[in-house]
Amino acid sequence: MVRSVFLVGPMGSGKTAVGRRLAEQLRLPFLDSDAEIEARTGVDVSYIFEREGEAGFRIRERDMIDELTKRVGIVLATGGGAILLPENRERLATRGTVVFLDATIDQQLQRTRRGRHRPLLHTADPRTRLEELMRVRDPLYRSIAAVTLRTNTRRPGAVAEDIVKALSECSEST
């Protein structure tokens, strides 16, 4: 039985793009928790934030993470804030292998600058907002990660290949 792989990291770190390539390489289904929430609700994450606030979204996200992490043999890209709730961290860490995709603030800015679907960046100063988010979230990502990789300017396929190697090394050492 193949253990699931859960990708965590800040917005713009490449979780979805890398996740798709990783799923192909591992021959596993790919899921994205934000996309699953959008499919279930029929509205985008920005709309949920607008109507229910971040707290409302986090409840939906918590329930989705619980459901998706019960599946065996998947690659799951999580939202950047999925690690904020202790129950999400516990479920991610115990139900699969967590891979932290790390990216510099500059790289996050570059990758998110055209996106309109990132409600936490609807601010006059996205750089400061990303820095604030990383101060809180970085230690949480690291606390549950079995593997950490810096993505920055790397192609998603190359990052996915490195994850496959790291997962193989993890399974050999257990």
Please tell me the predicted confidence (pLDDT) of residue 168.
Answer: 87
Render pLDDT for 66-78 as a digit per residue (tens, 0 to 9): 999 999 999 999 9
CB contact at 8 A, 38 and 45: yes
Domain ranges across the chain: 4-167
Identify the band that residue 146 occupies on the pLDDT scale cut at 50, 70 and 90. very high
What's the DSSP call for residue 12? T
The CATH code of the domain at 4-167 is 3.40.50.300
Q: Which residue has the higher pLDDT, 63 or 110?
A: 63
Render pLDDT for 90-141 as a digit per residue (tens, 0 to 9): 999 999 999 999 999 888 888 777 656 665 556 667 888 889 989 999 999 9
Confidence check: pLDDT of 1 > 60: no
Task: Tell me what the mean pLDDT of segment 36-43 comes to.
Answer: 94
- Number of helices (H), then strands (E), belonging to the chain: the values are 7, 5
Please tell me the predicted confidence (pLDDT) of residue 159.
Answer: 95
Task: Tell me what the mean pLDDT of segment 47-62 comes to.
Answer: 92
Residue showing tokens 């990383």: 134
| Rounded-to-integer distance, Cα 81 and Cα 115, Å | 17
